[in-house]
Amino acid sequence: MNMATTDTRQEIMSVSKRMVQARGYNALSFREVAKAVGVKSASVHYHFPTKGDLGAALARRYTDEGAAYLDGLLANSEDRALLMGRYAKIFRNALVDDNRMCLCGIMAAEHHDLPDEVRAEIDRFSEVNVQWLVKVLSLGNTQGDSGGLKRKARAIYAAIGGAQLLARGCGDISAYDQAVVAYQEAGLLG
Amino acid sequence: MNMATTDTRQEIMSVSKRMVQARGYNALSFREVAKAVGVKSASVHYHFPTKGDLGAALARRYTDEGAAYLDGLLANSEDRALLMGRYAKIFRNALVDDNRMCLCGIMAAEHHDLPDEVRAEIDRFSEVNVQWLVKVLSLGNTQGDSGGLKRKARAIYAAIGGAQLLARGCGDISAYDQAVVAYQEAGLLG
DNA sequence: ACCTGAACACCGTTCAAGT
DNA sequence: ACCTGAACACCGTTCAAGT
């Protein structure tokens, strides 16, 4: 009847997730995670044999949850501008929450140090985002040109990630907001 | 007569710079640097007492050299589109050179782990870039509104950084190129 | 002025051992 | 099935000691 007091495995993942969003994959420490969970580091290795396994599991769950959330947004509205606003808000919220970054955004910066299984999940996250943006850009758009749409979707994804990176670097959310306004003014988000 | 065979201090900095651009501040290792330079890690500490000192010195020199290069561009041309193209090329070249990132871009992602002296240099780098972009955007622009120009300059800086991050994450330069084209199409770089 | 070896508390990882 | 202690080679940092 597993109504147990939350799985150790789940606790490891949630602690690790916050750690990576705050400080990156390289700064994720098995010993720190273990201490926060109340267990020894060798025990963390029991659940996730290597750091790559843990990173990949984090990215996989993060992508899955993100995809579900985005699908929910699209099920509730067909208003392009409104959906774009909500999209920008997701990345803003990470900054509000203790100056965190998108898990996959910060890991992308650490590309060189990532095991292959983690890289694969980062790619999937990007793909999920870009495909959702293509759907949003397509709403009420009769002019086809799906190649241009995908290019624009990629650009929006990149631009939002860049705004998050910039704002985090200077620790000032208004830098994020200003960048997003400028994107809107330029018509990048339309 | 110091025509000596390059300073140890200079060698430490050039090795470290490449290391950070490739793998980030957290992955910068005194012992690895020492091995590459042919010296012991304690000796690296003689030149740069802490990792923060080394990181700050790297960022300072990087910003100074970048500022000088940008000034050179502006001295040679007053063509807005051409200057924007050259700006985008700078960040592209880092990717071409072994999938590297802008030194300050990757460090911005590691904001949480940076000592204050390094953060200050990151901020200065952003400021130099944004101010240069304001100058470029002002060329032949009579409509004033310096607040809007600065906001747009920040957005361009963020968007270029985001494109670099995305392309690095998927290890594909064409992702960078496509994002830049989409920025141009949207009029973000004009 | 510049470098070193040795020590300290950290890190991921492994493994035999416990329950 | 889950956890642990101890070991390994790493890490930044410090410091007394060498030239």
Residue A4 has pLDDT above 60, yes or no: no
The residue to which tokens 């999209």 are assigned: A87
Using pLDDT thresholds of 50, 70 and 90, give the confidence band for residue A1: very low
Residue A12's identity, in one-letter code, is I
What's residue B3's pLDDT? 40
Partner-chain contact A113 B154, CB within 8 Å: no
Express each pLDDT in B107-157 by its tens digit.
999 999 999 999 999 999 999 999 999 999 999 776 667 788 999 999 999
Contact residues on chain A for B23, CB-CB shorter than 8 A:
110, 112-113
Question: Would you call B117 exposed, middle or buried from its count of C-beta atoms within 10 A (0-12, 13-18, 19+)?
Answer: middle
Higher per-residue confidence, A65 vs A143: A65
- Do A115 and A52 touch, CB atoms closer than 8 A? yes
Rounded, the Å distance between the CA of A183 and C1' of C15 is: 55
What's residue A143's pLDDT? 65
Q: Where are the beta strands (DSSP E) in chain A?
A: none
Contact residues on chain A for B123, CB-CB shorter than 8 A:
169-170
What's residue B5's pLDDT? 59
- Do B7 and B37 touch, CB atoms closer than 8 A? no
Using pLDDT thresholds of 50, 70 and 90, give the confidence band for residue B190: confident
Using pLDDT thresholds of 50, 70 and 90, give the confidence band for residue A147: confident
Express each pLDDT in B25-67 by its tens digit.
999 999 999 999 999 999 999 999 999 999 999 999 999 999 9
Compute the distance between CA of residue A116 and CA of residue A102 in angstroms, rounded to an integer: 19
Nucleotides of strand C within 7 Å of the protein's CB atoms? 2-6, 10-16
Q: What is the mean pLDDT of chain B?
A: 94
Residues 6+ apart with CB under 8 A from A63: A104, A121, A124, A125, A128
Residue A35 has a CB neighbour count (10 Å cut-off) of: 13
Partner-chain contact A109 B24, CB within 8 Å: yes
Express each pLDDT in A163-190 by its tens digit.
999 999 988 999 999 999 999 999 999 8
Partner-chain contact A27 B165, CB within 8 Å: no
